[in-house]
Amino acid sequence: MGKPIVILGVFVADTAYRAQRPPRMGETVLGSGFKLGPGGKGSNQAVAAARLGCEVSFITRLGRDPFAEMALKTWREAGVVPAVIETPESYTGAAYIFVEEGTGNNAIIVCPGAAMLLSAEDIDAKADLIRSAGVFVTQLEQPIEAALSALRIAREARVTTILNPAPAAELPAEIFALCDYATPNETEAEQLTGIRVVSKADAERAAAALLDKGVGAAVITLGEKGALLHDGRQARHVPAFNAGPVVETTGAGDAFNGGFAVGLASGRSPEEAVRFGCAVAAISVTRPGTAPSMPSLAEVEALLAGS
């Protein structure tokens, strides 16, 4: 389906704990559930895109351990092609995810492990793969130098570039002009622009600030309010879809970004690609987990057709 997608990022094993509230320092809280599953923003986005029928390659580093085996099994089942640098001197990443019982909201600690050793040299070794893509996607869980290097290669090859600036970090000024699209959520948009995003008007102002920094177009994801796309000419709000009761929001941003990349790779207009991404995210939040919550193309097309 469409042009190939190449994603640079991190795999982590998600260890998800459900409880009424998080523990205070020095306190132990009895939880109501535990789940171990595949995660990491880049890996989740790759799984989301591959489940939607796209040809997807994923560049990362893994240790040589049971979590690495989980990563390879996850990608095999989803159809992701691994472009992995094996790193036995380190460990495969892991994440602590606290899920609040009443709301499904979450708080996360990520330890990327081997993926923190990704370097500009590693990216140079994968340059031909990046150049072969129709769409290149990266986030900020691996070192910024690696992301910057990959974006430069993609831009020189006229590959469409998406930066999902998550988790939010101090970014070199140069990075913005290398991005055809930047896709922050409300919190990340505020950290990048200093503009607090509560309303659609705030999102429009934050998007305009990102355009001023040099991005081609800004997509601010707004949770249950959908997303706002600003391409420099006009700002358009795309409402969220309701695909059923919300179970967990942890993978929603990754579902959106994977879906948005597929939308662009399959030739949709930017606004239609945002709409497609919103539909993918809407289905993902009705299921527990991150990678396991990603829907199939048939499910997304059914939701789009019924809306």
Q: Which of 306, 238, 233, 225 is nearest to 271 (CA)?
A: 238
> Is residue 236 within 8 Å of 229, Cβ to Cβ?
yes
In the residue annotation, 254 being an active-site residue is answered as yes
Catalytic entry in 122, 180, 202, 254: 254
> Is residue 104 within 8 Å of 249, Cβ to Cβ?
yes
185 DSSP 8-state letter = B
Query: CB-hemisphere CA count at 13 Å for 189?
Result: 31
> Is residue 147 within 8 Å of 175, Cβ to Cβ?
yes
How many other CB atoms are found less than 10 A from the CB of residue 107? 10
Residue count of the chain, please give it: 307
* Burial per residue of 47-69, b for 16 or more beta-carbon CB atoms within 10 angstroms, e otherwise: bbbbbbbbbbbbbbbbbebebbe
Residue 272 CB contacts under 8 Å (≥ 6 apart), including other chains: 263
User: In terms of C-beta distances under 8 Å and separation of at least 24 residues, what long-range contacts does 71-75 make, across chains too?
Assistant: 71/11, 71/13, 71/38, 71/43, 74/11, 74/38, 74/43, 74/47, 74/291, 75/43, 75/46, 75/47, 75/50
Active site residues: 254
